[in-house]
Homo-oligomer: A and B are copies of this chain.
């Protein structure tokens, strides 16, 4: 039968590809990111170019901090490459992951106004690159392009809707349900289909990170995931997770 197949629950070696290295964002990449962004899809190349001129690109290597909670917030960011982790520090001093962002996503001084200081910290989970624009410039863009303003508004409103849904579920649902929800959301955003190996979540994600996303603890998350691994629903190891049976995991969202 050729090379011995690795039986489920045995393969614990990290299947994540080597992460992107630190790099600069060349102009084509930046333009591509802007053009792909749903916000600017109505705009022509010349308008995009003018916006690009107002933005500055920066790159970070794994673990680097983009900004920290409490620092003055004056910029809006768009992920160009890599994975950016937003985390907030609880009053008790524990840092919990609030979200993991993929290229194209907006963060930072969200609503152009909002708080004068960052409420969350942002850091690169792998080598990453992001564009940023200061608030006033962004407001100017929105004033000049009302259609862009409407799209941004739609996006923020959609996020608000999702946040409300989250709030609804979080206290009633069990930890298992919340972990299932978090994993599926990550899979939709960062998942890559690896055939028989399942959908691999393309980001080095520790139990602690998942615990933050599911509003729980590393221990509880570990217990739930161990069970699912035994049941063949997922596969996971040190800082990686793959979903082997999406339908069953989806069912977990509804009833633990």
Asked whether A168 lies within 8 Å of B114 as measured between CB atoms, the reply is: no
A164 at the interface (CB under 8 A from B): yes
With a cutoff of 8 Å between Cβ atoms, the chain B residues found around residue A160 in the complex are 110-111, 156, 159-160, 163
Chain A 120-151 residues near chain B, CB threshold 8 A: 120, 139, 142-143, 146-147, 149-150
Contact in complex: B154, A157 (CB < 8 Å) = no
Judging by beta carbons under 8 Å apart, are B215 and A154 in contact?
A: no
Interface of A is mostly: helix
Q: Which of B111, B139, B168, B254 contacts A158 (CB 8 A)?
A: B111
**A88 contact set on B, CB distance < 8 A:** 164, 168
Would you call A113 an interface residue if the criterion is a C-beta within 8 Å of the partner chain's C-beta atoms? yes
- Interface residues on chain A, number (Cβ under 8 Å): 42
- Chain B residue nearest to A159 in the complex (CB): B160
Residues of B close to A115: CB separation below 8 A: 161
Does A112 make an interface contact (CB < 8 A)?
yes
How far is A188 from B162 in the complex, measured between Cα atoms in Å?
Answer: 25
Task: Please give, as numbers and ranges, the residues of chain B lying within 8 Å of A112 by CB-CB distance.
Answer: 150, 153-154, 157
**Known contacts being A153-B142, A153-B153, is A114 close to B172, with CB within 8 Å?**
no
A residues near B (Cβ < 8 Å) are 88, 90-92, 96, 98, 110-115, 119-120, 139, 142-143, 146-147, 149-150, 152-154, 156-161, 163-168, 170-172, 215-216, 254
